[in-house]
Structure 1
Amino acid sequence: MPSPTIDGTQRGYVIPIGGAEEKLDNPEILAKFVELCGGKEAVITVIPTASQLDDTGSRYQKIFEEIGVKKTYSLPINERSDAQDPGYVKTLEKSTGIFVTGGNQLRLSTILGGTPIAKTIRQLNAQGVHYAGTSAGAAIVSQHMITGGSTGIVPTEGGVNLAPGMGLINTIVVDQHFNERNRLARLLSAVSYNPFLIGIGLDEDTAAFIDHDNVFTVVGSGAITVLDTSDIEYSSMAEARTGDALTLLNVKMHILASGARYDISNRKAYVS
């Protein structure tokens, strides 16, 4: 479950990004994130744990500084022991915005899971600090995190691999690079396990800006695919053998481009 909010405060935005967000010519998503975090007075902390490239953290620091942020930090958390460091926790607590980079989401879950850094991220978001994550950093916002699966459009039994995520939002499951990597099948497989979940498929350079009311607005050049199985009439998942194609009746799907909105709590899409 997400960390509880404190009386009188609103949860910060949760912003999963589908990866490959524009960084130079028109960094619309990153600029909007910075604006929410305080503009020039924002304090952005980058967590590049998912990436194994040495310069990922410093590269995003430079990007945010070029947008106008005066104070940025990057936490080089590469081992679980790093995520226990009280100094890193203190740095994180200075943030008005937290940005988690792309890479391997299993590095995020296995290195950060259950550590003081992960707990602090959850607590800060509950206290109003905004969280944005791209690619792997987007996948981990879910309580149930997609780590792999089949491509294509037909869901199958065993067609998706799941692991525990950070649980900033527990009613959705997120997939990224969605259209570019043909991931409809694995997102359908994920939501077929339990109609409680709403599937959110994020195209590249596209983000869901999820506010404290659990309503998100689409920002970016692509689209977000929403899968709602709350009214599903039949699923063959329980009887299917490994690799079998699934029968799913009455699955609702929305395709939402920039400016469209979706109310997660009430499962309603609309144009603002």
Structure 2
Amino acid sequence: MPSPTIKGTTRGYVIPIGGGEEKFENPEILAKFVALSGGTDAVITVIPTASQLDDTGQRYQKIFEEIGVKKTYSLPITERSDAQNADYVKTLEKSTGIFITGGNQLRLSTILGGTPIAKTIRQLNAQGVNYAGTSAGAAIVSQHMITGGTTGIVPTEDGVNLAPGMGLINTIVVDQHFNERNRLSRLLSAVSYNPFLIGVGLDEDTAAFIDHNNEFTVVGSGAITVVDPSDIEYSSMAEARRGDALTLLNLKVHILAAGGRFNIGERKAYVN
């Protein structure tokens, strides 16, 4: 569950990005994240844990500085002991925006899960600090995190692998590089387990800016695929054998390009 808000505060944005975001010529998504986090007065902390490249944190610091941010930090958290570091927690607490890079989401969950750093991220977001994550950093926002699965269109009984995420939002399950890597089948498989979940498939260079009212706006050059199983009449998941294709009746699917909106609580899509 997300951390509870404190009276008088508004939860910060949660911004999952589908990966491959434009960083130089027109960094629309990153620039909007910066603007919401204070513009030139923003304090952006980068957590590059998912990546195994030594310079990932520094590269994103430079990108944010070129957008106009005066103060940036990168926390070199590469093992669980680093995520217990009190100095890193103090640095994180200075943030108006937190950014988690791409890479391997299981590195994120196994290194950050249950640590003071993860707890602080959740608490800060509840207190108004914005969170953005790209690729692996997007997948981990969910309570139920997709870690792998099959490609294609047709969902199957064993079509998705799930693990606990950070739980910044518990009503959606996020997948990334969605259209580029043909991941509809694994998102359908994920929501077929329980119609409580809404599937959100993010194309590259595309983000969902989820506000404190649990409504998101699409920003970027691609689209977001929303799979809403709330009115599903039948799922064969419970009877399916390993590898079987699934039958799913009365499933809603929305495709939202830039400017499209979706209210998660009302489960309703809008266009401007």
TM-score normalised according to structure 1 size: 1.00
Partner residue in 1 for 2:28: 28
2:197 aligned with 1:204? no
Partner residue in 2 for 1:82: 82
Q: Deviations over 1:142-176 (max 9, x none)?
A: 00000000000000001000000000000000000
Structure 2 gaps of 5+ residues are none
Partner residue in 2 for 1:60: 60
Q: CA deviation at 1:85?
A: 0.1
Write the distance in 2 (CA, Å) between the matches of 1:28 and 1:130.
16
Write the distance in 2 (CA, Å) between the matches of 1:179 and 1:159.
17
2:234 aligned with 1:234? yes
After TM superposition, what 4+ stretches of structure 1 lie above 3 angstroms from structure 2?
none
2:113 aligned with 1:113? yes
Q: Deviations over 1:213-253 (max 9, x none)?
A: 00000000000000000000000000000100000000000
Equivalent position SS for 1:189: helix
Amino acid at match of 1:99: F
Write the distance in 1 (CA, Å) between the matches of 2:10 and 2:193.
31
Equivalent position SS for 2:49: coil
Partner residue in 2 for 1:179: 179
Q: CA deviation at 1:206?
A: 0.0
Q: CA deviation at 1:75?
A: 0.1
Partner residue in 2 for 1:44: 44
Partner residue in 2 for 1:72: 72
Partner residue in 2 for 1:269: 269
Amino acid at match of 1:250: N
Write the distance in 1 (CA, Å) between the matches of 2:171 and 2:4.
15
Aligned length: 272
Q: RMSD across aligned C-alpha pairs, in angstroms?
A: 0.2
Partner residue in 2 for 1:144: 144
Equivalent position SS for 1:111: helix
Q: Deviations over 1:7-32 (max 9, x none)?
A: 01100000000000000000000000
Amino acid at match of 1:230: S
TM-score normalised according to structure 2 size: 1.00
Write the distance in 1 (CA, Å) between the matches of 2:193 and 2:10.
31
Write the distance in 1 (CA, Å) between the matches of 2:23 and 2:114.
31
Partner residue in 1 for 2:154: 154
Partner residue in 1 for 2:254: 254
Equivalent position SS for 2:137: helix
User: Percentage identity across aligned positions?
Assistant: 88
Equivalent position SS for 2:16: strand
Partner residue in 1 for 2:95: 95
Amino acid at match of 1:91: T
Amino acid at match of 1:141: V
Amino acid at match of 2:73: Y
Q: CA deviation at 1:185?
A: 0.1
Structure 1 gaps of 5+ residues are none
Amino acid at match of 1:241: R
Equivalent position SS for 1:94: coil
Q: CA deviation at 1:2?
A: 0.2
Write the distance in 1 (CA, Å) between the matches of 2:11 and 2:75.
23
Partner residue in 1 for 2:15: 15
